[in-house]
Structure 1
Amino acid sequence: MRNMLRGLAAALFLAATSGLAHAQSQGQGQGQAQSWPDRPITLVHGFGAGGNADVIARIVAQPLSEALGKPVVVEARTGAGGNIASEYVARTTPDGHTLILLTGGHAVSAAMYRGLRFDPVEDFAFVSLVSVFPFVVATRAEGPVGSMAELIAAARRDPGGLTFSSVGVGSTQHLTGELLAQMAGIRLTHVPYRGGTQPLTDLLSGRIDLMVDSVTVTGAAIAAGKVRALGVTSAAPWPALPGAPTVSAAVPEFEVVSWVGLAAPARTPEHVVERLNRELRAVLAQPAVRERLEGVGTRVNATSPDEMRRFISGEVKRWNEVVTRAGIERQ
């Protein structure tokens, strides 16, 4: 009888201590969830001031800061088509205080570079896409090229004589220009930049012949009549550029639509990723934010973390096929 009582007491003690431990664990988890963020958050991107990534990062940062109760500070780490920024964030502490605004170039890099020091999919905790957008093939308004058909004809007369800009070797803009050349049967000369507004400055001064860039960068100059949109890379006309033809009107089946999205380092706590997704989706649903994003030529496209991961995996596969099919040498 005494042994039975001792056994019962031991069982009750174990149950009580187990329940206490579970409660403490839950309390710690809730405390961690409530304590994040406990300091300013850095939102990194890999391109120059005034470029598409920089503008979108700043549109999103302020309302996200208000939602999270801590400053969200935008920081550019430029170079290598965004890879310097991606590597930096992939190696930072996964505590939710360093995020990255990825662009379509993130998936392109997986196709273009053999020696990346990060995995474009496995080294990131994806939060949500922010928006999607096409690029614009543009030239200065007073230049000799007045249409896509004229561009193709000029390039055939002088192979390699026309130059086009991008935001870096291996960027989506770079591969968009190369894909255009491949599908049109012409040769263009690539001139890489670090992003920002310098390509537009050089286009207007005549240093380069063509730009392949976003509506964010080109839209104001097109509206002012300083730059001519030869074609948008979406399959259908884009609302932000009324009247601009599609590239596919001159080069059948040509289509490139890029994207930006928010991510954190892999192994960022799940509750942080879930809250980021929830708050970002609420921010993107705000009419003022949506209007600003549409005003720079993008279309809001919020997703779940899993949807973003599947999307980027698909983009990596797609650009691998483009690089192989176009015969572009991997770096």
Structure 2
Amino acid sequence: MNKKTLTRRAALGATLAAPLLAGALSLALPRAAHAQTYPDKPVRIVHGFAAGGNADAVARILGTDLARILGQQVLVEPKPGAGGTIAAGSVASAKPDGYTLLLATGGHAIAGALYDKLPYDTVRSFQPLASLTSFPFLVVTNAGNPATTLPELLQGAKSRNKQLNFGTAGIGTGQHLTGELLAQRSGGAMMHVPYRGESASITAILGNEVDFVVVAPTAAISHIKAGKLRALATSGGSRWNGLPDVKTVAEQGLAGFEVRSWTGLLAPAGTPKPVTDRLQAAIQQALKDEALVARLVEVTGGDVVAGGPQEFQRLIETDLKRWSQLVKEAKIQKD
């Protein structure tokens, strides 16, 4: 084989390789360019609850700082209904480009346990970005109720062979499943009475319509301090800072009982890693702002956790497994 043959073969090889190289570059360049320019338009944070509620407040507080860090508007869009599944479905089907995010709550995992035919997969349809806040629930009675502790409430019902009625913010909420778990673990006869939101459940307990309610701390604290309601227990693994004298459910005989709700940000599955990296860094930077942290603590009555994507993924998976098991064992009707 002479030098001319080798030269011709080298030239042919280069000619054939050129389109492949160009194709590889064409795939890589848009991804790199997108990462460098992201975001170049407003980012939306969607959530599944009414405007003015806790989820809405968390989204708006965080969104203000994210807008400053990202240099783009961050718009908050409430899409209430069906336990947050309407909002989750809209984000799951959105273009995975980092411009549509979901502010998820603990109800995201509960919906996965309660609904059989969701238009998305609770875990696989989303890319976790960060967990944000975590808070317990309170078990609350009317101040006129003779029970001053959780065991007294439960034992009083058993001694009178009475079924306890408990109110919550609605079917499929964290409050609902916490009450069902309390019923299962205590062995007491309890009936769930769902109301249209937390304010309605507070009105119910103030009027003695039910024996107790399971509520977020911020919904009941003003009435507790005014002496109209009494907190019997907190569902967390430790006592709530706002009422340090109120014992946990676990401290009052139900060892291992712990329920905390949470909020966190999710992106649609398939969002490019450079974009999720940018978002995760921006979220963590925002959560180092002491003023922002103070506002989130005030709004939720809980803690700012600033968990990373892997930690948030485990949290969702753990809650989904726990609530799915409870729904099955307690024979809670699924939709």
TM-score (norm 1): 0.87
Sequence identity, in percent?
A: 40
Q: SS of 1:139's equivalent?
A: strand
Residue in 2 aligned with 1:172? 174
Q: Does 1:159 align with 2:162?
A: yes
Q: SS of 2:246's equivalent?
A: coil
* 1:275-320 superposed Cα distances (whole Å, 9 cap, x missing partner): 1111111111221222222333222222332332233122211222
Inter-CA distance 140–109: structure 2 relative to 1 (3 Å threshold): same
**Whole-Å Cα distance in 2 between the matches of residues 224 and 230 of structure 1?**
15
Residue in 1 aligned with 2:215? 213
* 1:205-253 superposed Cα distances (whole Å, 9 cap, x missing partner): 4444432122233334434444321110013212232222222233422
**Whole-Å Cα distance in 1 between the matches of residues 135 and 308 of structure 2?**
19
Residue in 2 aligned with 1:249? 251
Greater Cα shift, 69-78 or 219-228: 219-228
Q: Does 1:117 align with 2:139?
A: no
**Whole-Å Cα distance in 1 between the matches of residues 52 and 246 of structure 2?**
23
Inter-CA distance 66–258: structure 2 relative to 1 (3 Å threshold): same
Greater Cα shift, 286-295 or 203-212: 203-212
Residue in 1 aligned with 2:314? 310
Inter-CA distance 81–191: structure 2 relative to 1 (3 Å threshold): farther
For structure 1, the residue ranges without an aligned partner over 5 or more in a row are none
Q: SS of 2:306's equivalent?
A: coil
Residue in 2 aligned with 1:78? 80
Greater Cα shift, 203-212 or 10-19: 10-19
Q: Does 1:98 align with 2:100?
A: yes
Structure 1 residue 92: deviation in Å? 2.2
Greater Cα shift, 4-13 or 54-63: 4-13
Residue in 2 aligned with 1:271? 274
Structure 1 residue 106: deviation in Å? 1.5
Inter-CA distance 145–77: structure 2 relative to 1 (3 Å threshold): farther
Q: Does 1:285 align with 2:288?
A: yes
Structure 1 residue 272: deviation in Å? 1.8
**Whole-Å Cα distance in 2 between the matches of residues 159 and 175 of structure 1?**
21
Superposition CA RMSD, Å: 2.6
Q: Does 1:259 align with 2:262?
A: yes
**Contact 1:181/1:187 (<8 A) preserved:** yes
Q: SS of 1:229's equivalent?
A: strand
**Contact 1:248/1:255 (<8 A) preserved:** yes
TM-score (norm 2): 0.86
Structure 1 residue 19: deviation in Å? 5.7
Inter-CA distance 15–60: structure 2 relative to 1 (3 Å threshold): same
Q: SS of 1:216's equivalent?
A: helix
